[in-house]
């Protein structure tokens, strides 16, 4: 239960936080567009309410006391959270609602973003807000209405709607293919293998599917995202296994070329995850219906997501 008589005034908290960060009343005043006297009064009122001194005054500077240092450290994330919460509430103004979606970086950048204008044309009143997440999270502690997920269709307290599988193919720059004479799948055993750190068995699975025996399929530089691997491959660092959708432009521009060997399709797939608490939200339902239709369209099938 909130005890309102123990909640300090926001202006006092802002004055204290700015002075603590700058170590200066004058610089805090400049940031807040107040006079130095006004900032000093706000801090004095806060100290009186708390019953502790927050600063030592040393010449022209202010130095945090031990209680002040603890209070400042715990206050900053609270003010940041209050600011973000307020911005989210303000984003609803003049719209039919805002969809807050957690996206995978590569999927969001290379596949989803180019298609969003079609959703906006169908729902011009809707607001959209996206942030990247690469791992599963608790919807109760995160401000999202839905999430894009790669893996198996399991997420506690949420429903997973199938979107698509991906096909991963071997690629490298034309120059690297020529230098290494990569003419058949077994030749990749002597190539530098660019590894995806969240999918450490990708090359091992590909060599097995290609019928090749390779002593160390997990060797090679590691990267967190497919987009980083693609750039490394374009610049001749080695051979990469990449979802086709990610590198359509690079292949068309002859910056990457397909190497011999099979396309790898794994059990994991892409899903839209909606928490049970948001399942009946009209905007979430509209986005889900649109996204599933986009993924089932022929154009999506020819360029599987990754």
pLDDT of 87: 65
pLDDT of 12: 93
Q: What is the pLDDT of residues 100-147, one digit of tens each?
A: 999 998 889 889 999 999 999 999 988 888 999 988 899 988 889 999
Answer yes or no: are the C-beta atoms of 224 and 284 closer than 8 Å: no
Under the banding of pLDDT at 50, 70 and 90, the label for residue 228 is very high
Return d(Cα 220, Cα 240) in angstroms, integer.
10
The pLDDT of residue 2 is above 70: no
Alpha helices in 181-240 (DSSP H): 202-210, 226-234
Under the banding of pLDDT at 50, 70 and 90, the label for residue 5 is low
Q: What is the pLDDT of residues 54-107, one digit of tens each?
A: 999 887 789 999 999 999 999 999 988 887 777 666 554 444 478 999 999 888
* pTM passes above 0.85: no
Domains and CATH numbers, the chain: 4-90 (1.10.10.10), 98-166+268-302 (3.40.190.10), 168-258 (3.40.190.10)
Pairing of strands 127-132, 257-258: unpaired
């Amino acid at each position: 239960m909130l005890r309102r008589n123990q909640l300090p005034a926001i202006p006092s908290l802002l004055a204290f936080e700015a002075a603590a960060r700058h170590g200066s009343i004058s610089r805090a005043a400049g940031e807040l567009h107040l006079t130095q006297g006004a900032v000093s009064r706000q801090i004095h009122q806060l100290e009186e309410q708390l019953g502790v001194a927050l600063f030592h005054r040393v010449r022209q500077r202010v130095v945090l006391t031990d209680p002040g240092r603890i209070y400042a450290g715990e206050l900053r994330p609270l003010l940041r959270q209050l600011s973000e919460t307020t911005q989210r509430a303000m984003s609803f103004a003049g719209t039919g609602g805002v969809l807050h979606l957690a996206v995978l970086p590569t999927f969001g950048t290379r596949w989803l973003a180019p298609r969003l204008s079609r959703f906006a044309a169908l729902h011009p009143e809707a607001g959209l807000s996206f942030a990247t997440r690469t791992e599963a999270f608790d919807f109760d502690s995160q401000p999202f209405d839905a999430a894009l997920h790669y893996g198996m269709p399991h997420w506690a307290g949420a429903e997973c709607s199938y979107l698509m599988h991906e096909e991963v193919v071997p690629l490298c720059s034309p120059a690297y293919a020529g230098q290494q004479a990569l003419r058949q799948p077994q030749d990749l055993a002597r190539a530098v293998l660019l590894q995806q750190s969240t999918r450490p068995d990708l090359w091992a699975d590909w060599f097995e599917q290609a019928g090749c025996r390779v002593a160390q399929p997990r060797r090679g530089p590691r990267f967190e995202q497919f987009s980083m691997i693609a750039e490394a491959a374009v610049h001749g660092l080695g051979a990469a296994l990449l979802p086709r959708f990610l590198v359509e432009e690079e292949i068309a521009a002859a910056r990457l070329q397909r190497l011999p060997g099979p396309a790898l399709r794994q059990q994991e797939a892409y899903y839209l995850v909606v928490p049970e608490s948001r399942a009946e939200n009209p905007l979430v339902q509209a986005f889900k219906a649109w996204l599933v239709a986009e993924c089932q369209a022929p154009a999506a099938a020819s360029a599987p997501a990754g």
